[in-house]
Amino acid sequence: MIIDIHGHYTTAPAALGDWRDRQVAALQDPALAPSPAELQISDDDLRESIEANQLRLMDERGIDLTVFSPRASFMAHHIGSFETSAEWAAICNELCYRVSRLYPERFVPAAMLPQSPGVDPATCLPELTRCVEENGAVALNLNPDPSGGHWTAPPLTDRYWYPIYEKMVEYDIPAMVHVSTSINPAFHTTGAHYLNADTTAVMQLIQGNLFADFPTLKLVIPHGGGAAPYHWGRFRGLAMALGKPALEEHLLDNVFFDTCVYHQPGIDLLLNVMPTKNILFASEMIGAVRDIDPGTGHNFDDTHRYIDAAGLNKADQAAIQELNARTVYPRLNALLKQQGR
Catalytic residue ranges: 284
Contact 18, 45 (CB under 8 A): no
How far apart CA 306 and CA 135 sit, in angstroms, is 33
The DSSP output letter for 336 is H
How far apart CA 101 and CA 152 sit, in angstroms, is 37
Nearest to 149 by CA among 118, 181, 176: 181
**Helix ranges, 109-259 (H):** 125-133, 162-171, 194-207, 210-213, 232-241, 247-250
How far apart CA 266 and CA 232 sit, in angstroms, is 14
The DSSP output letter for 244 is P
Neighbours of 98 (CB within 10 A): 17
Strands 140-142 and 175-177, bridge-based pairing: parallel
Rounded to 10°, the helix 54-61/43-51 angle is 40
State how far the alpha carbon of 314 is from the alpha carbons of 3, 58, 270, 274, 283, in Å. 16, 21, 18, 17, 20
For the chain, the helix, strand and coil percentages under 3-state DSSP, each to the nearest 5: 50, 10, 40
